[in-house]
Amino acid sequence: MKAVCNASFSLRANVSVTFPEDAIDSAVAFVRKKFEVARTGEGWEQFQSLLNRAQQEKWFRFVNAPRSLDRLVEAWRGQFAYDPEPDLRKLRNSRPRTVWRTRHRNARQANC
């Protein structure tokens, strides 16, 4: 999952100088669980107990911990759940492409 990879890279890049590898692994595991709960909307109760334990960790300030399941799911939908395919289909099937080709062809003929 791209979001988890990005978060893992970001955590490692930002805190690797300050934190040992096992602490970074714990933070990455936390982020993986956070994104799993955000994507599925399931497991919030278990995640809350993990969240409460993680608050004592020094890396906690780097993981953007959610305040509620609703906010977590909303953030997931707004940032990571976007599927570009429908919009790309609209662009592919739109008229401006035809207009551009016509203008381009006319410009080429004028320059010959």
Per-residue pLDDT of the chain (112 residues; tens, 9 = 90+): 566 666 666 666 766 567 888 988 999 899 999 999 999 999 999 999 999 999 999 889 888 899 999 999 988 888 877 788 888 888 777 665 555 555 555 555 554 4
Note whether 9 and 53 are same-domain residues.
yes
Q: pTM above the 0.85 mark?
A: no
Structural domain boundaries, residue 95 = 83-112
Which pLDDT value is given to residue 101?
A: 57
CB-based contact 11:54 (threshold 8 Å): no
Tokens read off for 40: 């599925």
Please indicate, yes or no, whether residues 11 and 27 belong to a single structural domain of this protein. yes
CA dist., res. 28 & res. 33, Å (int) = 9
The number of folded domains in the chain is 2
23 and 35 in a common domain: yes
The separation between the first and the last C-alpha atoms of the chain, rounded to the nearest angstrom, is 51
